[in-house]
Amino acid sequence: MKIVPTSIKILILSVFLLIQNNYSQEVKNSDETNECLSCHTELHPGIVASWNDSRHSMITTGQAMKNASLEKRVSSTIIDSSLQNVTVGCYECHSLNADKHKDSFEHNGYKLHVIVTPNDCATCHEVEVKQYSNNLMSHAYSNLVDNSLYQELIKSVNNSYCYSNNKLSIGKADSLTEYESCLYCHGTKVEVTGFVTKETDFGEYIFPVLDGWPNQGVGRVNPDESLGSCTSCHPRHDFSIETARKPYTCSECHKGPDVPAYKVYEVSKHGNIFKSKSEEFKFSNVPWKLGKDFTAPTCATCHASLIVSPDNSVIAERTHQFNDRLSWRLFGVPYAHPHPISANLNNIINSEGLPIATELNGEPVTKFLISKEEQQIRNVKMKNICNNCHSSEWVDNHFTRLDNTIKKTNEITYESTKMIMDFWKNGYVEGLPQGKNPFDEEVEREWTSVWLFYANSTRFASAMAGGGDYGVFADGRYQSTEQLYKLIERLKFYNKLFNKK
């Protein structure tokens, strides 16, 4: 199929790339990668330009391995020598572990795959990949899809509806809707459903047909069975650390009203300073120096980054686990509780057989959750970061308020849960006791809003110092109590209708 004189193109390109590479050391691409570039520079100038901007194109893996430990951006200690002497090019990524990939296809004499997975990145970044597997995010697909209670929520939001004979009923699910809805963020299961032949400018080619793709959800199930997509925070092909450290990256999924971390951050003092000063911040430096490279924290600072003081002493280690500084699971379904021990939540079950980590009265099911001591250890790690910019009293008082907010919002959730249980018990609407969907009646939606939107928003505002409106009049305390009024009015109405006290 090679109808283009690739050798000439390769020669021109190699010279071009050597000039382009402004990295001080001399680097070279593999011959295979130069071959990819010979066609793809024309086919996908966007992809190639972005790769040219990446560190992957500027340094060889072997050179990168020699950096001092705090500056190192590759964490694997054993990397195949064939990968060490060249840049990380198209071929180096798209050909890794070909035998494990159901999406592998023959392409110009090479066995390649489109979806470069965490398992492939692990060749050079094994620490990040291992840590990420302990992050709730990497299990976000099955934590949602394999949970029977959450299934009911998915149905009531995504499925088709049908009205007839004075009844509204929930109809069928369709996967294309789910890919755009819940699974956009949680991740799809990408499956190879066949292969297709396409006519291109370079001749006929065979490509895999991928169902559930494109998708960059954090818990995507990949064709090599690995979990997650590193691209959710490291958009290709520049894979820049700067992007990952800026809060916009996280805002794609953490926006709300159920998960409003970004909105809260945006209106916090931290977000305010970030917006005013970020042009002076140095977002690409490794390690990241607090006070010098930045003066206000972003999401990454508090949750993930390796941070050092101006004299290079380590304040926090880098983590892709993202929860080893979190003592709580603030996101309550329906109650907030200590953080789960395992990121895979599929075994969790309460005494009533529901797949959630609290009882319906809010008691945590402790055997699935971290201990008080572990909560303390994680809280100290987080505080350790704050304490470099704040006094310990400021920080301690902040977390005392957070503990109080968790208690108060859980209490309100319990009051609303007692009411919805009375609706169910009296048969006014059908829900959990009847084995029916607990999210598909108006009063059930009102109850759901108490915890899903308003208790969660209030806690996020409290945790991330955006204590203004998101915890009060915009999706906060005002709205929670408003739901209580609605529920009690409806309950009184039904009681009267059915002659109950």
Calpha distance 113→133 (Å, rounded): 22
- Judge contact between 364 and 327, C-beta under 8 A: no
Answer yes or no whether residue 200 interacts with ligand HEC by CB under 6 A.
yes
β-partners of residue 199 are 204
Handedness of CA 152, 157, 159, 162 (dihedral sign): positive
In angstroms, what CA-CA distances link 186 with 70, 221, 289, 478? 32, 10, 32, 30
Among 101, 192, 239, 443, binds ligand HEC (CB under 6 A): 239
Binder to ligand HEC among 145, 267, 308, 345 (CB under 6 A)? Answer: 345
Judged by CB under 6 A, which of 29, 30, 101, 186 binds ligand HEC?
Answer: 186
Name residue 11's amino acid: L
Query: What Rg do the C-alpha atoms of the chain give, in angstroms?
Result: 26
Q: How far is the CB of 74 from ligand HEC (least distance, A)?
A: 5
- 230 sits near ligand HEC (criterion: CB under 6 A): yes
Site for ligand HEC in 297-326 (CB under 6 A): 297-306, 318, 320, 322-323, 326
Residue in 237, 281, 405, 438 binding ligand HEC, rule: CB under 6 A: 237
Residue number with CB closer to ligand HEC (228 or 431)? 228
Spatial contact of 97 and 122, defined as CB atoms under 8 Å apart: no
477 interacts with ligand HEC by CB under 6 A? no
327 binds ligand HEC (CB under 6 A): yes
Q: Considering the complex, what minimum distance in angstroms separates the CB of residue 14 from ligand HEC? A: 14
Q: Is 233 in the site for ligand HEC (CB under 6 A)?
A: yes
423's torsion region: left (phi>0), alpha (psi -120 to 50) or beta?
alpha
Fill in the per-residue mask, 445 to 464: x = in contact with ligand HEC (CB under 6 A), - = not in contact.
Answer: ------------------xx
CB of 309 closer than 8 Å to CB of 345: no
Stretch that binds ligand HEC, among 163-171, 264-272, 416-424, 493-501 (CB under 6 A): 264-272
Residues 154-183 that bind ligand HEC (CB under 6 A): 154, 157-158, 181-182
Q: 340 φ, ψ to 5°? A: -65, 150
Tell me whether strands 203-211 and 191-200 are parallel, antiparallel or unpaired.
antiparallel
The token duo for 441 is 């009646």
**Residue 80: φ, ψ to 5°:** -50, 135
How far apart are the C-alpha atoms of 147 and 352, rounded to whole Å?
15
**Interface of this chain with ligand HEC, residues 378 to 437, rule: CB under 6 A:** 379, 382, 385-386, 388-390, 395, 398
Q: How many CA atoms lie within 13 A of 450 on its CB side?
A: 28
223 near ligand HEC, judged by CB under 6 A: no
Output the smallest distance, CB 359 to ligand HEC, in A: 15
The rounded distance, in Å, linking the Cα atoms of 496 and 153 is 30
Count of residues interacting with ligand HEC (CB under 6 A): 141
Q: Does 283 participate in binding ligand HEC (rule CB under 6 A)?
A: no
Say whether residue 335 binds ligand HEC (CB under 6 A).
Answer: no
CB of 425 to ligand HEC, least distance (A): 25
Query: How far is Cα 382 from Cα 263, in angstroms, rounded to an integer?
Result: 21
Whole-angstrom Cα distance, residue 16 to residue 21?
Answer: 9
Q: Which of 29, 143, 405, 413 binds ligand HEC (CB under 6 A)?
A: 143
The angle at the Cα of 214, spanning 209 to 218, to the nearest 5 degrees, equals: 130
- The residues in 21-80 that bind ligand HEC, with binding defined as CB under 6 A, are 32, 35-40, 43-44, 47-48, 51, 55-56, 59, 61, 64, 67, 72-74
For position 232 contacting ligand HEC by CB under 6 A, the verdict is yes
Which one of residues 53, 146, 202, 278 is an interface residue with ligand HEC (CB under 6 A)? 202
List, in sequence order, every beta strand (DSSP E) within 334-483: 337-338
Please report how close the Cβ of residue 463 comes to ligand HEC at its closest, in angstroms: 4
Minimum Å gap between C-beta 443 and ligand HEC is 19
